Amino acid sequence: MEYIRVTKENLDTEHICCAISNNKDVQVSSKKAWLAERFDEGLVFLKSTERGKCFIEYIPAENAWVPLAADGYMYIDCLWVSGSFKGHGYSNDLLNACIEDSKQKGKKGLCILSAAKKKPFLADPKYLKYKGFVVCDTSDCGVQLWYLPFDKDAEQPAFKACAKHPHIDDAGYVLYYTHQCPFNAKYVPIVAAAAKENGIPFKAILLDSKTAAQNAPTPITTYALFYNGSYITNEQMNDTKFLKLAQTVGGV
């Protein structure tokens, strides 16, 4: 497999793997705009030269859009290999490239979000354990921070208090999200419209800066849905999924 690094210079022409290829689609344009502003902060986006979901995205933890205390670490936003790409060792290729790059940059190690059991849009804990990662912190909502230190004496990264104890005071449904995930640009407005049509209290809060994301009341900032103050899920939804959830959780 051959890989290519997406940069500011080739961003406009490269397929970014996890969204459709049409640059005029709001999903693609929102993600690419977000990426364009992160490259100068050290973000690396390495992907397969072939079309499909086979890429890794990582950034110095000081610049990650997550509430972490992880100075000196590299934070992996996403490692995604799926479909026909699975089972060929491509995840290892991408992770090894990240490890080598991070060591060359003098990082203490890597960190990434996961959970005790596999959750949508989070790294597979079985794979992380296989690669030597261990849990260094756990949020009240079950989201875990895993890390791979390059030095056994390296200080462990940790969640900030706002991420370790996610809670808000607002009633109804409140969604925190960023444009790091391309799907949000399309589906957040769809969910908001469905909530309004069905009389369900709903508010969407776009985390539009690193500072806002690093102080958000959730360990996952790409998509975090709360109901009556409690964290519910990080799974991106369309209108059908949201209305089904509302019938189960409440608010209808």
The C-alpha atoms of residue 229 and residue 226 are separated, in whole angstroms, by 6
pLDDT reported for residue 50: 84
Tokens of 18: 């996890």
pLDDT reported for residue 137: 98
Count CB neighbours of 191 within 10 A: 26
pLDDT reported for residue 40: 96
Instruction: For the chain, give every domain's residue range.
Output: 3-160, 163-249
Count CB neighbours of 222 within 10 A: 23
Tokens of 11: 């961003």
Per this entry, what is the length of the chain? Answer: 252
CATH class of 3-160: alpha beta
CA angle 175, 80, 64 (to 5 degrees): 55
Q: Letter for the amino acid at 20?
A: I
pLDDT reported for residue 110: 98
Nearest alpha carbon to residue 28 among 36, 37, 19: 19
- Would the CATH topology of 3-160 be identical to that of 163-249? no
- Bridge partners of residue 79, in order along the sequence: 56
Decide: 131 and 123 in contact? Cβ < 8 Å. no
- Bridge partners of residue 148, in order along the sequence: 110
- Bridge partners of residue 57, in order along the sequence: 45, 78
Count CB neighbours of 178 within 10 A: 23
Decide: 157 and 147 in contact? Cβ < 8 Å. yes
Decide: 232 and 244 in contact? Cβ < 8 Å. no
The C-alpha atoms of residue 47 and residue 80 are separated, in whole angstroms, by 10
pLDDT reported for residue 82: 85
- Bridge partners of residue 78, in order along the sequence: 57
Right CATH for 163-249 from 3.40.30.120, 2.102.10.10, 3.20.20.410, 3.40.930.10: 3.40.30.120
The C-alpha atoms of residue 115 and residue 122 are separated, in whole angstroms, by 7
Decide: 146 and 111 in contact? Cβ < 8 Å. yes
pLDDT reported for residue 152: 86
Tokens of 32: 């690419």
Tokens of 148: 């791979």
Taking only the tens of pLDDT, the chain with its 252 residues reads 899 999 999 999 888 876 666 767 888 899 999 999 999 999 999 999 887 789 999 999 999 999 999 999 999 999 999 888 888 899 999 999 999 999 999 999 999 999 999 888 899 999 999 999 999 999 999 999 999 999 989 999 999 999 999 999 999 999 999 999 989 999 999 999 999 999 999 999 999 999 999 999 999 999 999 999 999 999 999 999 999 999 998 766
pLDDT reported for residue 236: 93
pLDDT reported for residue 85: 84
